[in-house]
Structures are given as C-alpha cells and as structure tokens.
Amino acid sequence: MPYEPVLLARVNKPGSHALDGYRADGGYATFEKALKDLKPEALTAQVKDSGLRGRGGAGFPTGLKWTFLPKDHPGPVYLCVNADESEPCTYNNRVLMEKDPHQVLEGVLLTCHAIKSQKAFFYIRYEYGDAFRAVQGAVDELYAAKLLGPNVLGSGKTFDVVVHRGAGAYICGEETGLIESLEGKRAWPRIKPPFPAVEGAFRKPTIVNNVETLACVTQIVKRGKEWFQSLGVPPDPKNPRDAGSYGPKLYTLAGHVNKPVCVELPMGVTCRELVEVHGGGVWKGRKAKAVNPGGLSMGYLDVDAPLKGGADGQTEYDIPLDFNGPGRVGCLGLGTAAVTVIDDQTSMVDVLHNTCQFFAHESCGQCTPCREGTGWMLKIVDRMRRGQGRKEDLDILVDVADRIGIMPGTTICGLADGAGWPVKTAIRKFRAEFEAAIRSGERSKYAKSLAMAGAH
Ligand SMILES: Cc1cc2nc3c(=O)[nH]c(=O)nc-3n(C[C@H](O)[C@H](O)[C@H](O)COP(=O)(O)O)c2cc1C
Ligand code: SF4
C-alpha cells in the first residue's frame, strides 16, 4: 500500500497556511489536551520514548536533548527554532513553513510546554521571504486567537513567539552561530561546552530544534509514539551506536533529476528508489554517476560502486536513507536528507569546484584550519579545472580535508567537517576521473564553456 503522508498531508489544500483551516482539521486540539492533561516531564518522556531524532542534520535524540536542561532553573528557558535551512538543495523546512506553518507552531507550543519555556525565537533564513511572511502571519493569528500571549487557554501560562529574520549566511544555521546572530552579533559559532541547553541564547538554557523536528513533535503527541515507531528502521545490531531511524522523513530531490520534489516517506527508502521512482529518474535519459545523500556536506556516493556487505548486484545507490545508511558507504551521515543527483555527463572536477567554492565562501573565518583549508582546497581544484592540475594535488586535497573539522579536533564547528567530506569522498571514489583530468591538461567541461563565453 502506498504511504499516506502525514507531515505533508495538508500542503496541497487551499489556504493550508491559515489558522481556521488548521483548526478545522483538528489543529491545536493536541496542544490543548497536552496543556491540560500532560505534565512537562510526561510530554518529554513521550517524545524521548518515540525515538525521534533531530531532522536538522546531526540526528541527535530530541527528547534526550530536552532532558539536558538544568533542573529547576529559575528561567527564563528559551526554544530556538532553527529555520535557517541553508544546506544546498535542502528545502523541506521551507515547504512546511510556507504551506503548513501551524503544524510547526503547534510543535513549538508543545515543546515550550515540555521544556517549561515561555518564549520561542523562530530564526528564519534571510532569503526565505515567503516563509517569513507565512510564519509571521500564523504567529499574528495565534496572538489574535489568544493561543499566544498571557494565560493561554486559561492555563495561567504565557507563551510568546518572536519571529526573527536570519542574517543571510550558511553559518547562521549552526546552533551557536544562530544564537550569536539572534543576539545581534556576527554568527560566529561558540566553543562547546557549554552546550546551549546549559548556556544558550542570552546566556540562558536554550533548546535548538529544527522545523521538521518540531512538526514531528506535533504528530507524535497527536498519534502516539507507537505510530512513530511503526515507521522507519530499528537500530542496526551491527552498529552499537545506532539509535534507530524512526518516523516519517521529508526528502528533497535536486540536481539532475526529472522531478525535483519534496516527498514524505518512512525513513529508510533507498537512494535508488527515491531517485528512480519518486524523482522520476535522471533527467535527459541519462544515468546517475554520483549522489549527495543528505546535503552537500555529507559527501558523495558512487552509483556504480558495489555495496560492501550488500546483496549481489547492489551498489552504493542502494543504501537506505536512514541515519545509519550513508555512513556505510563512507559518507558523513544522513544530514538533511537532501538528495542531489549528478549525471554521467558531468565532470567531477566541476562538481568539486562548485562544492569548494561554497564552503570557502561560507567559512566564518574564526578557525585557521577551516578558513585557510577551505581556501586552499578551492585554489587547488580551481587550478585543476583550468587544466593546470598536478599529480600530487589529489593527495594534498585529501590530506587537508582529513585535517579540518571537529572530528579531527581542529575547529570550533562542523562546517569544516562538511567542507572536507565531499572532497575526500569525491577523490577517493572518482580518483581515476581526477587523474585523467590532470593527465590530459585540458580545461574541465564547464571551464571550457566559460572560456568560450569569454568569462574565464
Ligand atoms: C555549518 C552548519 C550549518 C547548520 N545549518 C543548520 C540549518 O540550517 N538548520 C538546522 O536545523 N540545523 C543546522 N545545523 C545543525 C544545528 O547546529 C543543530 O544541530 C540543529 O539545529 C539541532 O536541531 P535538531 O536536533 O532538531 O536537528 C547546522 C550545523 C552546522 C555545523
Ligand atoms: S569551523 Fe569554520 S565555520 Fe566553524 S567556527 Fe571554525 S572557521 Fe567558523
């Protein structure tokens, strides 16, 4: 039986963004009931037991994160909604905010109740004008309906939501960069610990959660943790650190695919099924060569490489898109589940150049390994695509990529890991193509077209 969407169930309805339609569909009844019947601790336990893991990229267990708040803190405690969504090719938060903002805001109210917070900051990517207007409109409706403000639903509790327009940089999505930016400063990530749950916005305990995570909270409290666990993938017994990948997931498709859409499926659909069935296949009748399984910073999988430990004939294209799958083929993780397809006519040198340009531009510059490393990688790949690559360049690139990031312990935040992963996976998996490009001494395909246009 085809899967019936839950998170996207309302997005194609006329006026799906408005409060009256949301309430007609049963909206805010879950919050009303929870506010009356559920103590914050019980609500937190429900979310923790559901197995929900954050949808913002790291997959951290949501309920567990909420328990990190200091007990009996005099307050205030804050919720920051991370709607910065700047990972290339990721747009599931945008769809939720533009089309069904109240589903997210109900999750915000439930989370505020669970973490004993009176105030949420909704931090929206600067470029998302329509989403900003939709969320601000929905918040205004909630104040008018007295679902926000003092004494909500006669509970004696106050809930406020402040909508904040982001500062227009990728690093504003890193949770402590977001907090700095919210406080009116440059979005320079903070050294951790202390983590935001202990010392976050305005130096107060703060929970940062992604938009899709909060929409899941609404559905878990409405439908129950058993419903959530009935979807997705249980923990991998071969990986003791895997906490399972439960629930529905919004996957976004982009790149050389026929239908670049946002689809909702139970966690664990294979990359092949997602692209070939839900994305309508690779465009122009071509074949896929490489795929980013979860946003640019997760690295590349090689569509033709045999899948280690997989069935006969399976390739990396057959990995399940759950929290555990992409790591099995050397990628960083599921990330934002933004799947970008690269067709077989595209030069990996050009792909890597584009990738390096992004990270070198977005590095905030605080840590030398990231600031200089992303710049060096860009310069080397730029030289390569102009036909001036050197034999030793590939090893230098992998070496730089291996040394920058929080994993090797040389940077403050994960942007540098995300900059390194596409470089090392592209070179390790498509080395022959890079070597041939260096040997030929020719400009890459895209560099040639730029040169012909007189732009290079
Ligand atoms: C460079 C960088 C950019 C990030 N951008 C986003 C983003 O745009 N949206 C997001 O939700 N998380 C982003 N994250 C992850 C956040 O730091 C944080 O883990 C997340 O918001 C937590 O929410 P969740 O637990 O609901 O996933 C980013 C992390 C890094 C290192
Ligand atoms: S790793 Fe890069 S983006 Fe992150 S704080 Fe350091 S310089 Fe800034």
Ligand 2: which atom is nearest the Cα of residue 404? Answer: 1
Q: How many CA atoms lie within 13 A of 116 on its CB side?
A: 17
Q: Which ligand is the nearest neighbour of the Cα of 296? A: 1
Look at residues 357, 363, 106, 113 and name the one whose alpha carbon lies nearest to residue 217: 106
Pocket-testing residue among 81, 90, 121, 174, ligand 1, by greatest number of atoms within 8 A of Cβ: 174
CATH number corresponding to 348-452: 1.20.1440.230
Give the residue whose CA is nearest to atom 22 of ligand 1: 209
Q: Residue 24 is encoded by which pair of tokens?
A: 């007609």
Q: Could you tell me if the CB of 55 is within 6 A of ligand 1?
A: yes
User: At 51, phi and psi to the nearest 5?
Assistant: 85, 10
pLDDT of the residue at 419? 98
Q: Which ligand is the nearest neighbour of the Cα of 169? A: 1
Q: How many A from CA of 174 to the centre of ligand 2? A: 10
Q: How many A from CA of 362 to the centre of ligand 2? A: 9
- Dihedral in degrees, nearest 10, Cα atoms 407, 413, 419, 425: 20
Look at residues 263, 275, 278 and name the one whose alpha carbon lies nearest to residue 7: 263
Helix (H, G, I), strand (E, B) or coil at 165: strand
Taking the domains of the chain in order of start, what are their residue ranges? 19-230, 245-343, 348-452
Q: How many A from CA of 156 to the centre of ligand 1? A: 33
Q: How many A from CA of 229 to the centre of ligand 1? A: 24
pLDDT of the residue at 456? 64
Q: How many A from CA of 297 to the centre of ligand 2? A: 14
Ligand 2: which atom is nearest the Cα of residue 364? Answer: 8
Sign of the CA dihedral with 290 first, then 293, 299, and 303 last:
negative
Q: Could you tell me if the CB of 210 is within 6 A of ligand 1?
A: yes
- Give the C-alpha separation, 455 to 448, whole Å: 10
CATH number corresponding to 19-230: 3.40.50.11540
Helix (H, G, I), strand (E, B) or coil at 347: coil
Per CATH, 245-343 and 348-452 having the same topology is answered no
- Give the C-alpha separation, 440 to 123, whole Å: 48
Q: Could you tell me if the CB of 45 is within 6 A of ligand 1?
A: no
Look at residues 429, 315, 410, 304 and name the one whose alpha carbon lies nearest to residue 363: 410
Helix (H, G, I), strand (E, B) or coil at 157: coil
- Give the C-alpha separation, 45 to 67, whole Å: 9
Distances (CA, A) of 360 to 114, 169, 318, 377: 39, 12, 31, 8
Q: Within a 10 A sphere around the Cβ of 182, how many other Cβ atoms?
A: 22
Give the residue whose CA is nearest to atom 2 of ligand 1: 174
pLDDT of the residue at 240? 86
Q: Could you tell me if the CB of 318 is within 6 A of ligand 1?
A: no
Residues in contact with ligand 2 by the CB-under-6-Å rule are 171, 189, 363-367, 370-371, 411-413, 415-416
Look at residues 395, 376, 387, 394 and name the one whose alpha carbon lies nearest to residue 437: 387
Hunting for tokens 């710049």 — which residue is that? 375
Ligand 2: which atom is nearest the Cα of residue 366? Answer: 7
Pocket-testing residue among 123, 210, 250, 374, ligand 1, by greatest number of atoms within 8 A of Cβ: 210
Q: How many A from CA of 98 to the centre of ligand 2? A: 30
What is the chain's pLDDT, residue by residue, as a tens digit (456 residues)? 789 999 999 999 999 999 999 999 999 999 999 999 999 999 999 999 999 999 999 999 999 999 999 998 999 999 999 999 999 999 999 999 999 999 999 999 999 999 999 999 999 999 999 999 999 999 999 999 999 999 999 999 999 999 999 999 999 999 999 999 999 999 999 999 999 999 999 999 999 999 999 999 999 999 999 999 999 999 988 888 889 999 999 999 999 999 999 999 999 999 999 999 999 999 999 999 999 999 999 999 999 999 999 999 999 999 999 999 999 999 999 999 999 999 999 999 999 999 999 999 999 999 999 999 999 999 999 999 999 999 999 999 999 999 999 999 999 999 999 999 999 999 999 999 999 999 998 888 788 888 777 766
Q: Could you tell me if the CB of 208 is within 6 A of ligand 1?
A: yes
- Give the C-alpha separation, 403 to 370, whole Å: 9
- Give the C-alpha separation, 169 to 171, whole Å: 5
Q: Residue 4 is encoded by which pair of tokens?
A: 């019936």
Residue 274 and residue 263 in contact, taking contact as beta carbons nearer than 8 Å: yes
Q: What is the pTM of this model?
A: 0.97
User: At 200, phi and psi to the nearest 5?
Assistant: -125, -120
- Give the C-alpha separation, 272 to 410, whole Å: 35
Q: Which ligand is the nearest neighbour of the Cα of 176? A: 1
Beta-strand relationship, 301-302 and 232-233? unpaired
Q: How many A from CA of 57 to the centre of ligand 2? A: 17
Helix (H), strand (E) at residue 424: helix 415-429
CATH 1.10.10.10 fits 245-343, yes or no: no
Peptide bond just before 196 cis, omega within 30 deg: no
Burial of 352 by CB count in 10 Å (0-12 exposed, 13-18 middle, 19+ buried)? Answer: buried
Q: What residues pair up with 257 in beta bridges, in sequence order?
A: 282
